[in-house]
């Protein structure tokens, strides 16, 4: 690479970093700051909800940095005198997919990209802009630590009664460290072009490394077997989400927005609570009324379905459902089998629109960064509106009666405090 091009790349990298510094540092800063808060709380009174928030933000920070790599790669490609990327590579960087319709016009859709694939493909594409080849290191603990962090994030976003995650401060630090290790690997292979990373990573590593052991920590979980365990988990999830709401509203906001790390954490928490509740309520309904549910209905509530293997054998496998299906169809089925009143959801209601059309996409923006999309800051007013919508959802479920009136007791015992 000649010296003129080398200088040009450094200039583009510097300008791109200044315009997108929030992608590099915001969620990682949130994770590290929450970890610092956890250190100040005596171990006996340290809430797991903060460890959960740390892990969620650590992996969200990983995704925003991958988005930054895409932004930088495309900025360099735009300034290059010759094409760097083939069209499918540009589409991958932009997370879009074009295809011809019947009228021979091209349509543009979002491209589904598993995070596990992006970890290798995105830096490889960025490397083409620098005329470098990216390769993950052979050191297995780096890969394991990051893989465990992603596994914990997924379990926290989509918890279930038979795989109910347990995390603490060490898990939080391990997740942050795993993301930092990955970003440092990319930085080293593309030195000196990833402007700003040496400072960011150099300031964060010392804040977590004393809590990180030699071996990465795999996901710990337990199976909620008894009625008492299931009810305790329902109550705990509700209490954690509302506690985080209260803390977020007492906490100050950022200088450049009406939100904070805690408003973002609370928004993610309330949606994770819904996913946990649906799974636990399904299990509780089957446990209390085992003869009322067919095998297919039980499998649906447990997100399982039969699949055929390549050997022609039928096996029961995971069949994850999206949030809307999980949050509406599953409670409707539970009510149909166990409650005196039928349950139905009307999409036109205000709370339904806010829960599914307004604040679910905002929660997705917090957790899953994509090229060209802004990172949601989540103001206190937005957080309150999201909580009010989901509390209305809970009140609606309670109208079915039966054991689902449990929700009304939760609502009565935890009124939202005024801002």
> Which of 200, 220, 240 lies at the terminal end of a domain, its last residue?
220
pTM: 0.90
Instruction: Give percent above pLDDT 70 in the chain.
Output: 96
Total structural domains within the chain = 2
Give pLDDT, residue 3: 59
Residue 419 falls within a domain, yes or no?
no
pLDDT in tens, 183-220: 999 999 999 999 999 999 999 999 999 999 889 999 99
13 and 90 co-located in one domain: yes
pLDDT in tens, 36-77: 999 988 887 777 899 999 999 999 999 999 999 999 999 999
Interatomic CA distance for residues 257 and 252, integer angstroms: 11
Residue 145 falls within a domain, yes or no?
yes
51 and 176 co-located in one domain: yes
CA distances from 182 to 20, 173, 279 (A): 19, 14, 33
Residue 158 has pLDDT above 70, yes or no: yes
User: Are the beta carbons of 75 and 16 closer than 8 angstroms?
Assistant: yes
23 and 84 co-located in one domain: yes
94 and 156 co-located in one domain: yes
Interatomic CA distance for residues 289 and 222, integer angstroms: 23
Interatomic CA distance for residues 168 and 162, integer angstroms: 19
Q: Which of 148-162, 254-268, 389-403 has the lowest mean pLDDT?
A: 254-268
Please give the average per-residue pLDDT across 292-317, as a whole number. Answer: 93
Interatomic CA distance for residues 270 and 391, integer angstroms: 10
> How big is the CA angle at 378 (ends 375 and 380), to the nearest 5 degrees?
165
Per the prediction, the chain carries an average pLDDT of 91
Q: Is 214 exposed, middle or buried (0-12, 13-18, 19+ CB in 10 A)?
A: exposed
Residue 140 has pLDDT above 60, yes or no: no
Say what angle helices 87-94 and 48-79 make with each other, to 10 degrees: 150
402 and 354 co-located in one domain: yes
Question: Tokens 């022609």 belong to which residue?
Answer: 312
173 and 26 co-located in one domain: yes
Give pLDDT, residue 254: 66
Mode of pairing for the β-strands spanning 220-222 and 164-166: antiparallel
Tokens at 46, concatenated: 């340290």
User: Are the beta carbons of 416 and 266 closer than 8 angstroms?
Assistant: no
Work out the pLDDT band at 175, boundaries 50, 70, 90. very high
Residue 246 falls within a domain, yes or no?
yes
124 and 146 co-located in one domain: yes
Q: Which domain holds residue 150?
A: 3-220
pLDDT in tens, 224-241: 999 999 999 999 999 999
What would the 3-class secondary structure string for 385-412 be? HHHHHHHHHHHHHHCCCHHHHHHHHHHH
234 and 214 co-located in one domain: no
Give pLDDT, residue 325: 95
> Which of 176, 203, 220 lies at the terminal end of a domain, its last residue?
220
Interatomic CA distance for residues 290 and 298, integer angstroms: 9
Residue 418 falls within a domain, yes or no?
no
Mode of pairing for the β-strands spanning 96-100 and 106-110: antiparallel
205 and 82 co-located in one domain: yes
Nearest residue to 263 (alpha-carbon basis) of 28, 7, 30: 30
User: Partners of 110 in the beta sheet?
Assistant: 96
Phi, psi of 160 (to 5 degrees): -140, 160
> Which of 174, 192, 220 lies at the terminal end of a domain, its last residue?
220
Interatomic CA distance for residues 218 and 146, integer angstroms: 10
25 and 168 co-located in one domain: yes
Q: Running DSSP on this structure, what letter comes out for residue 41?
A: S
Residue 41 falls within a domain, yes or no?
yes
264 and 199 co-located in one domain: no
Residue 255 falls within a domain, yes or no?
yes
- Per DSSP, the residues of 316-349 read EEE----HHHHHHHHHHHHHHHH-SS-----TTS
179 and 261 co-located in one domain: no
Instruction: Give percent above pLDDT 90 in the chain.
Output: 73
Give pLDDT, residue 43: 80
Please give the average per-residue pLDDT across 167-181, as a whole number. Answer: 95
């Amino acid at each position: 690479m000649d010296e003129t091009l080398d200088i040009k790349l450094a200039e583009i990298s510097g300008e791109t970093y200044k315009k997108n510094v929030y992608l590099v540092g915001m969620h990682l800063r949130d994770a590290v700051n929450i970890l610092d808060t956890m250190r100040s709380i005596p171990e006996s009174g340290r809430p797991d909800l903060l460890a959960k928030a740390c892990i969620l933000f650590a992996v969200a920070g990983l995704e925003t940095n991958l988005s930054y790599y895409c932004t930088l790669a495309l900025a360099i490609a735009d300034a290059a005198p010759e094409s760097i990327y083939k069209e499918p590579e540009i589409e991958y960087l932009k997370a879009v997919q074009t295809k011809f319709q019947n009228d021979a016009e091209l349509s543009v859709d979002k491209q589904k990209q598993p995070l596990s694939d992006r970890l290798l493909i995105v830096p490889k594409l960025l490397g083409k802009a620098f005329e470098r080849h990216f390769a993950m290191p052979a050191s297995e603990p780096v890969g394991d630590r990051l893989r465990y962090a992603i596994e914990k994030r997924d379990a926290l976003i989509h918890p279930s009664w038979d795989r109910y995650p347990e995390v603490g401060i060490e898990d939080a630090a391990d997740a942050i460290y795993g993301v930092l290790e990955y970003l440092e690997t990319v930085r080293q292979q593309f030195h000196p072009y990833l402007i700003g990373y040496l400072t960011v990573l150099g300031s964060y590593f010392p804040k977590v490394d004393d809590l990180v052991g030699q071996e990465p920590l795999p996901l710990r979980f337990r199976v909620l077997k008894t009625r008492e365990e299931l009810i305790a988990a329902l109550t705990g999830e509700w209490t954690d989400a509302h506690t985080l709401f209260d803390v977020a509203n007492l906490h100050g906001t950022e200088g450049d927005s009406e939100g904070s790390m805690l408003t973002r954490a609370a928004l993610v928490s309330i949606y994770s609570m819904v996913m946990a509740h649906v799974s636990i309520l399904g299990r509780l309904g089957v446990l209390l009324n085992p003869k009322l549910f067919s095998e297919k209905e039980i499998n649906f509530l447990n997100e399982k379905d039969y699949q055929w293997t390549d050997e022609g054998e039928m096996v029961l496998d995971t069949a994850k459902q999206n949030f809307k299906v999980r949050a509406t169809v599953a409670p409707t089925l539970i009510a149909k089998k166990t409650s005196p009143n039928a349950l139905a959801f009307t999409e036109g209601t205000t709370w339904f629109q806010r829960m599914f059309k307004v604040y679910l996409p905002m929660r997705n923006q917090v957790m899953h960064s994509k090229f060209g999309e802004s990172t949601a800051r989540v103001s206190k007013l937005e957080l309150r509106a999201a909580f009010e919508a989901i509390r209305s959802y809970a009140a609606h479920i309670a109208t079915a009666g039966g054991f689902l009136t449990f929700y009304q007791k939760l609502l009565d015992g935890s009124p939202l405090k005024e801002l």
